[in-house]
Amino acid sequence: MRNALGAVRSVLVLGGRSEIGLAIAERLVRDGARAVALAVRGGRAPEAAARLREAGAAEVHELEFDADAPASHAAVLARAAGLLGDLDVVVAAFGHLGDQAALEADPVAAAASAHTNLTGHVSAGLAAAARLREQGHGVLVVLSSMAGVRVRRANFVYGAAKAGLDGFAQGLDDALYGSGARVMIVRPGYVRTKMSAHVPAAPFAATPRQVADAVADGLRLGWRYVWVPSVLRSVAAVFRVLPRSVWRRLRR
Amino acid sequence: MREDAGAGRRVLLSGWGRTAPTAARLARPRDLAELAELVARAPERGVIARGLGRSYGDAAQCAGGLVLDCADLDPGFRVDAAAGTVTASAGTSLDTLLRELVPRGWFPPVVPGTRHVTVGGAIAADIHGKNHHADSSFGAHLRSYTVVTGTGEVRTLRPGDGAPFWAGVGGMGLTGVITEAVVALRPVETAWMRVDTDRTPDLDATLDLMARTDGDYHHTVAWVDLLAAGARTGRSVVTRGHHAVRDDLPVRARRDPLRFAPRVLGAAPGWAPPGLLNRWTVRAFNTAWYARAPQRRRDEITPASGFFHPLDAVRGWNRLYGPRGLVQYQFAVPFGAEPVLRRVVERLSAARAASFLAVLKRFGPGTPGPLSFPQPGWTLALDLPAELSGLPVLLDTFDRWVADAGGRVYLAKDSRMHPELPARMYPRLDEWRAVRAEVDPAGVFRSDLARRLDLVGGGGSR
């Protein structure tokens, strides 16, 4: 159960090797979460599990999860619920950034990337929402991105998938209204991780830990959108109204 | 798909603090048979009774399960003047009881800070009032109560039944659905109180005044200004009183001394912005309250409703805390642990936490209920906006001090404690769990509170 101040007992991370997903889980453990399940491709994430145990988690489970296999997602959620009991927070953290130039040159790889970043989230998100609705409470934390607020030339394959995901998450939250469950949409800008190391940092870059702290604040205060850093909310407002001729020329 | 009419409709429920809402089916059984049937066919995620929703946290919620509102049960209201008792259904509010009983010359044995709680809730939380030091808690005045157990059996329990009776007193509804109770009453001559009021300059003076004079008064309470700092830390308005007798009243009131007519000034607006109650607005309120109180006043004759339930004059005052709600923190520490009390007050004052209406009270002997909150010592209750930054750490720190001092946090108020704490604060928790396992072997009675704090065992995960 989530308590009045946003602390929870159990956390499921879909994409348990994601540095951001892991940082969120670690923060929630430090705030009192006892049980975490890491759903990862291959079913093993010993380093991540060790880190969470060190942070104070009493139980850490690792289970197989393939974001690209939508048919398996309901079963993954059922297995996680079998291990954890109620799913207080589900973090949908999996994703693929890729190299824009390479993706543009390889349509098949680009489609695969979009499949992970959008289609995978659609099936996993719906499966998670069904569980949360049934248990009458819980938060699905969806890692969207500033890149999806207005899609940019510099990363439009990734950005388009995130824009789709963001829209999906908003609709899902509306669908869950009154069910006790809800969706929290996280929109970080550039986050310094291994996944993003090959991309030059954008202004207002954040660390996974800053994302985790913002998510914890959001859980406590019941936010629907979490911007990291929070100034991005204002930046996004500007982005949305920039004329196309200027927008097209943005380098990053 | 057609929904089972008896299983109720799905609603979002939260406690009085309006934090952490969850969804459940809400059913209103019309009679005992229907109620027993609903319990017997309880959904996998469990069932819990709910009264007027005045528990601050999640005690009367059952996410994904079934919540029972017993307001439609036959009120079964009977006063036995010879025995000095009242029989009432669990869904009867203390407001109704007062309106019915006071004109007949009776007063409920214990009334909490609001009239808007039910008899069932009063037993399940083993509520206390300003007279705890003299009269103990609600459970001490029960002649019997009737309960539907986890097997659908209807049982009437008396204090002589021992453990099964006391497991339900303070048992937060987790041993069964209480349907009716027989409660011993106090005879009164008037609906008025004779009250002495004193303003104290600091916490030491407050504690000293209460410790010295509690025995001389039937009802005592102190209101502490937690925003006062420095030498004024813990300054309070202490009110102490008795039920007034007929001769105490002004001549005009003597014609109808038992007239009970609580005033409602109005309702709080349906929506308030976040941050309305902040350290500045609350400080202004606290200062005005303190300044308005007399330095020393004796034998003031005042209506009982205003003395016991000043907040009931503003309906829905919890909405003033805005959409993020409030957290109430109430703890008790034994006599001798005054330093803990002092540290809590100092820390709150230093944090300039926007708390108004902090209530300080001395407890007398408790009841044998293993999960009953009151124990001899001091209790402090305070409201804080849930959005206050640093609140989780602040309250976790207090929990640790309280538990280390042999004290406890009130389950009916809790909405955020760590699950390791109840076993330390309520050392007879395992004894209570054993009784519960007997009366509810399948574990059908479950609440969000029970899940969150793992009260019923099994990891609290389901």
pLDDT at A203 over 70: yes
A11: burial class by Cβ within 10 Å (0-12, 13-18, 19+)?
Answer: buried
Query: Which residues from A are below 8 Å from B384, CB to CB?
Result: none
Per-domain residue ranges of chain B? 76-188, 192-421
Residues of chain B with pLDDT > 90, as a percent, come to 81
CATH H-level superfamily of A10-247? NAD(P)-binding Rossmann-like Domain (3.40.50.720)
What is the Cα–Cα distance from B186 to B59, expressed in whole angstroms?
A: 29
Q: What is the DSSP letter of A179?
A: S
pLDDT at A144 over 70: yes
pLDDT per residue as tens digits for the range A150-181: 999 999 999 999 999 999 999 999 999 999 99
Q: What pLDDT does B218 receive?
A: 97
Question: Are A1 and B452 in contact (CB < 8 Å)?
Answer: yes
Q: What pLDDT does B315 receive?
A: 84
List the structure tokens of A221. 């205060």
Residue type, A102: A
Question: Are B451 and A10 in contact (CB < 8 Å)?
Answer: no
Closest CA to A117 of A62, A163, A185: A163
- Long-range (24+ apart) CB contacts under 8 A made by A55-61 are A55/A26, A55/A29, A55/A30, A56/A29, A56/A30, A57/A29, A57/A33, A58/A34, A59/A34, A59/A35, A59/A83, A60/A35, A60/A36, A61/A35, A61/A36, A61/A37
Place of tokens 């309702």: B267
- Alpha-carbon torsion (B178, B180, B186, B190), positive or negative: positive
Please state the rounded mean pLDDT for residues A225-234: 95
Residue B325: pLDDT band by 50, 70, 90 thresholds?
very high
pLDDT per residue as tens digits for the range B198-227: 999 999 999 999 999 999 999 999 999 999
Q: What pLDDT does A195 receive?
A: 83
Would you please indicate which residues of A are annotated as catalytic (active-site) residues?
158
pLDDT at B116 over 60: yes
The CA distances from residue B110 to A101, B97, B368, in Å, are: 75, 11, 17
Tell me the average pLDDT of chain B.
Answer: 93
- Looking at the complex, report in whole angstroms how far the Cα of residue B46 sits from the nearest Cα belonging to chain A: 11
pLDDT at A142 over 90: yes
Residues of chain B with pLDDT > 70, as a percent, come to 97
Question: Are A4 and B387 in contact (CB < 8 Å)?
Answer: no
Q: What pLDDT does B6 receive?
A: 47
pLDDT per residue as tens digits for the range B44-54: 999 999 999 99
Q: Which CATH number fits domain B76-188: 3.40.50.150, 3.10.129.10, 3.30.465.10, 3.40.1190.20?
A: 3.30.465.10
Of the candidate ranges A151-160, A223-232, B338-347, B351-360, the one whose mean pLDDT is the lowest:
B351-360
Please state the rounded mean pLDDT for residues B238-245: 97
Query: Which residues from B are below 8 Å from A1, CB to CB?
Result: 20, 22, 58, 63, 448, 451-452, 460
pLDDT per residue as tens digits for the range B258-309: 999 888 888 888 888 888 888 888 888 888 889 999 999 999 999 999 899 8
A–B interface: beta-carbon pairs under 8 A: 93
Q: What pLDDT does B3 receive?
A: 43
Question: Are A135 and B63 in contact (CB < 8 Å)?
Answer: yes
Query: Which residues from A are below 8 Å from B22, CB to CB?
Result: 1, 136-137, 180
- Looking at the complex, report in whole angstroms how far the Cα of residue B21 sits from the nearest Cα belonging to chain A: 6
Task: Confirm or reject CATH 3.40.462 for domain B192-421, answering yes or no.
Answer: yes
pLDDT at A194 over 50: yes
